């Protein structure tokens, strides 16, 4: 075995843009996988010098500590407004936001929809894990009916909490979006597809084709109070029905 | 004989024992340590059955902490990114896209001396300053700023960006982003919109980014009225948003000053890495006057911005260390140090940048302290008073923060009383009282709700307030 472990035989390693800092995410958190993919795609594209990320308020608030590119840290929900300005002022840069469901689809819904509708040439990575992770597991706009959270402890009810918001199909209907897709990172195959989707969205930003939205249906095993693998199973069994995977729009 | 064709290495100190790689492996190669833990207390993953590994990368792909490297022998695919990284220590990422700097000559620009509204002067002066971007939302009585910018089409000439945002909240965050990139960006609004922008201004203060924010005040509270007011004085000068911070507050009292303070505001903002504010009232925004416009300056190039604002988020050209603009710092000691640094900057600004205009203060028995449109009306009231033999002088604060307390104290040295006329219920009067430490009587005169007084009303307030015959 040891004979195989030689530099010339290496077929997969940590992207160098992902620095050595220990990520604060819980064990098994989908954020880690998506961070890794973002770093890999930027490296593959060779655009580290031209990439500017906007991190959200939420679990990914410290994304800037892990991926070694220039970053802005947005106020809660305003990432797409900030990305709008960055891309308009520096049109040759790769500009992307990285946002959770609370940031993107609750407090930032207005900015999310309008940035997409204005066809801002930005890529949006939208992590939908149906819960507020950082604040301790409260109800998100995307929390499923019946799903228990700290603020709907007996399960989400329509009469009390309304319906889960599936925002990505809304964005697909806007003329300003060029690519809208829903992916996941729970299996090796899903990870490969998600990476291809992020690559496509980033290419779109560089080429100024319009707004791209990559929703990653994700787990929050701590918030869901499950083991990471149980959370993946629960996601497959419950989340995919409301948030089915696949491309919703692709203007090629 | 079975031949090993794959292997993985696992950074066991980085591993959090989430077990996802174990689940992802199609051949049952991996397992978590049963009793052994790493320094962080996690049962880390290891190759329990190394002979079964085929180097398929499934484990590494799903690993949230990127702690797995995969090896395969012989490689069946051309070396990928990881392999390249071995050969070059750090691949020189991409080529920085060369950008031709746009021409800075503007065609069909208004002549240098012209007649225009205060709001329009803001717009034209900004283009001529070499502004990089405007982000705003229409609200009366300042909508002419955006209207004039759209008419001028600066994106065709200087390359300046103009965006009508979906809200004041979005607009101020666009400004926050542009400022974080070292660009000369600004927004304009009126009172209700200014309230919405306070959060963003607090973030900009905490991130120490330079920006220009204009508030052409209207009467409040609430939706209030579209007519002039100065009732946002507290909000502008005392911070307005959360946390301990200040913005430099410039108070123009003419269309000329509207134009001049655009450049001054940006110069100060970049000098101190803070927010500059132009606090005008609806009178100054809406009235037309002669204005001498500044000459057209070129916008700064990307290289100039990189040199002048080494902190700015511009992309890691030359793979310099990354720049992050954030207002977040969870380490209490570091956040305290940040706050002390902000305060030190504010003391420096107070020392260097306090501005006011003194009018007939040498011989005055009575002093007026007024800003903006109220200073103009007070000028006429002074004339009327002096015609009646009442010696009135005036201090007109040009910076409302830092407040010209020292200048007021000196001007009031021989005065018998101070009148503070404002378009509000008594806000700046508090700073005037502090300036003179209540050593002499200080009276307020105000009109509210969008009303503007006549000079006679101010003179009347002075003579009745201080029982001047």
User: For residue A46, what is the domain's CATH number?
Assistant: 3.40.50.970
Residue B458 has pLDDT above 50, yes or no: yes
What is the residue whose two structure tokens read 């720049």?
B323
Mean pLDDT, residues B198-209: 98
H or E segment to which residue B157 belongs? none
- Per-residue pLDDT tens digits for B326-358: 999 999 999 999 999 999 999 999 999 999 999
Task: Give the domain extent around A88.
Answer: 19-250
A50 contacts on B by Cβ (under 8 Å): 94, 96-97, 315
CATH of the domain at B59: 3.30.70.20
Q: Which of A12, A53, A110, A118 is the best mutation test for B, with the most CBs of B within 10 A?
A: A12
Same domain as B162, residue B59: no
B278 falls within a domain: yes
In a domain, B108, yes or no: no
d(CA B409, CA A243): 67
**Tokens coding A130:** 């149906």
Q: Is A122 on the interface with B (CB under 8 A)?
A: no
Residue contact A61–B82, C-beta within 8 A:
no
Residues from chain A that touch B82, judged by Cβ atoms under 8 A, are 10-13
**For position B282, which CATH number holds?**
3.40.50.970
Tell me the pLDDT tens digit for each residue of B236-277. 999 899 999 999 999 999 999 999 999 999 999 999 999 999
Task: For B9, name the nearest residue in chain A, comparing CA atoms only.
Answer: A5
Is A36 touching B (CB cutoff 8 A)? yes
Please check whether residues B42 and B127 belong to one and the same domain. no
Retrieve residue A183's tokens.
């992916």
Which among B189, B163, B190 is positioned nearest to B177, based on CA atoms?
B163
Percent of chain B with pLDDT over 90: 89
Share of chain B above pLDDT 70, in %: 92
Judged by CB atoms closer than 8 Å, whether chains meet at B73 and A13 is answered as no
State whether B222 and B124 are in the same domain. Answer: yes
Write the pLDDT tens digit of every residue in B28-82.
Answer: 999 999 989 999 999 999 999 999 999 999 999 999 999 999 999 875 555 455 4
pLDDT tens-digit series, residues A190-209? 999 999 999 999 999 999 99
- A12 found inside a domain: no
Number of domains in chain B: 3
Where in the sequence is the domain holding B450, given as residue range(s)?
A: 357-465
Instruction: Identify the sign of the CA torsion B446, B447, B449, B450.
Output: negative
Question: DSSP string of B317-365?
Answer: GGGPPP-EE------HHHHHHHHHHHHHHHHHHHHHH--EEEES-SS-S
Which of B:95-114 have CB within 8 Å of A?
A: 95-97, 99
Of B75, B39, B35, the C-alpha closest to B57 is B75
Once rounded to an integer, what is the mean pLDDT over residues A110-131? 98
Q: Among candidates B348, B31, B453, A32, which has minimal Cα distance to B444?
A: B453
Which of B350, B373, B399 is a domain's end point? B350
Give the separation between CA B294 and CA B103, rounded to whole angstroms. Answer: 18
Question: Are B255 and B132 found together in one domain?
Answer: yes
On the question of pLDDT at B310 being above 70, the answer is yes
Residues 185-244 of A with CB under 8 A from B: 185-188, 191-192, 227-229, 232
Same domain for B122 and B75: no
pLDDT at residue A48, rounded to an integer: 97
Tell me: do B130 and B216 sit in the same domain.
Answer: yes
């Amino acid at each position: 075995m040891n004979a195989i472990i030689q530099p010339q035989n290496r077929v997969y390693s940590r992207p160098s843009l992902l620095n050595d800092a220990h990520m604060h995410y819980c064990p098994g958190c989908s954020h880690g996988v998506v961070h890794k993919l973002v770093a890999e795609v930027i490296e593959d594209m060779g655009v580290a010098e031209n990439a500017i990320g906007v991190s959200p308020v939420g679990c990914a608030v410290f994304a800037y500590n892990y991926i070694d590119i220039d970053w802005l840290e947005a106020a809660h929900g305003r990432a797409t407004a900030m990305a709008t300005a960055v891309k308009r002022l520096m049109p040759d840069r790769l500009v992307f936001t990285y946002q959770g469901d609370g940031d993107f689809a609750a407090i930032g819904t207005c900015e999310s929809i309008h940035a997409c509708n204005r066809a801002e040439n930005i890529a949006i990575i939208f992590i939908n894990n149906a819960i507020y992770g950082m604040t301790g597991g409260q109800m998100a706009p995307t929390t499923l009916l019946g799903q228990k959270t700290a603020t709907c402890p007996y399960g989400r009810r329509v009469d009390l909490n309304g319906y889960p918001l599936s925002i990505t199909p809304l964005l697909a209907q806007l003329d300003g979006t060029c690519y809208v897709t829903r992916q996941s990172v729970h299996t090796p195959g899903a990870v490969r597809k998600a990476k291809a989707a992020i690559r496509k969205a980033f290419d779109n930003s560089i080429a100024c084709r319009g707004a791209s939205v990559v929703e990653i249906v994700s787990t929050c095993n701590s918030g869901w109070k499950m083991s990471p693998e149980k959370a993946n199973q629960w996601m497959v069994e419950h989340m995919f029905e409301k948030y089915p995977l696949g491309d919703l729009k692709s203007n090629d | 004989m079975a031949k090993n064709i794959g292997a993985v290495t696992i950074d066991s100190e980085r591993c959090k024992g989430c077990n996802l790689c174990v689940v992802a492996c199609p051949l049952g190669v991996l397992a978590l340590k049963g009793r052994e833990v790493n320094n962080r207390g996690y049962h880390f993953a290891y190759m329990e059955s190394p002979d079964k590994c085929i180097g398929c990368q499934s484990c590494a792909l799903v690993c949230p902490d990127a702690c797995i490297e995969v090896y395969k022998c012989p490689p069946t695919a051309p070396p990928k990114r990881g392999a390249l990284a071995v050969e070059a220590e750090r691949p020189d990422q991409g080529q920085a896209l060369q950008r031709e700097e746009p021409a800075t000559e503007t065609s069909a620009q208004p002549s240098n001396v012209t007649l225009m509204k205060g709001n329009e002067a803001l717009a034209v002066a900004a283009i001529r300053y070499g502004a990089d971007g405007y982000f705003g939302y229409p609200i009366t009585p300042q909508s002419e700023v955006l209207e004039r910018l759209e008419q001028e089409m600066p994106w065709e000439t200087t390359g300046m960006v103009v965006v009508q945002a979906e809200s004041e909240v979005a607009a101020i965050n666009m400004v926050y982003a542009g400022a974080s990139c070292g660009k000369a960006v600004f927004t304009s609004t009126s009172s209700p919109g200014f309230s919405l922008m306070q959060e963003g201004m607090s973030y900009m203060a905490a991130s120490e980014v330079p920006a220009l924010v204009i508030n052409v005040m209207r009467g409040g509270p609430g939706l209030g009225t579209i007519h002039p007011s100065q009732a946002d004085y507290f909000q502008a000068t005392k911070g307005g948003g959360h946390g301990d911070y200040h913005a430099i507050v410039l108070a123009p009292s003419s269309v000329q000053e509207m134009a001049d303070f655009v450049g001054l505001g940006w110069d100060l903002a970049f000098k101190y890495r803070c927010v500059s504010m132009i606090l005008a009232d609806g009178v100054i925004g809406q009235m037309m006057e002669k204005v001498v416009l500044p000459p057209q300056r070129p916008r700064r190039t990307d290289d100039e911005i990189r040199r002048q604002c080494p902190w700015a988020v511009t992309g890691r050209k030359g793979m310099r260390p990354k720049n992050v603009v954030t207002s977040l710092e969870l380490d209490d000691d570091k956040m305290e140090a940040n706050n002390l640094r902000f305060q030190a900057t504010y003391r420096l600004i107070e020392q260097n940048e306090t501005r006011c205009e003194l009018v007939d203060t040498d011989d005055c028995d009575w002093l007026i302290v007024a800003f903006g449109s109220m200073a103009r009306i007070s000028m006429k009231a002074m004339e009327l008073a002096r015609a009646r033999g009442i010696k009135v002088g005036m201090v007109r604060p040009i910076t409302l923060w830092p407040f010209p307390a020292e200048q007021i104290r000196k001007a009031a040295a021989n005065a018998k009383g101070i009148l503070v006329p404002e378009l509000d219920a008594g806000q700046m009067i508090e700073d005037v009282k502090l300036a003179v430490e209540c050593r002499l009587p200080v009276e307020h005169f105000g009109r509210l709700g969008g009303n503007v007084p006549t000079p006679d009303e101010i003179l009347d307030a002075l003579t009745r307030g201080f029982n001047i015959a």
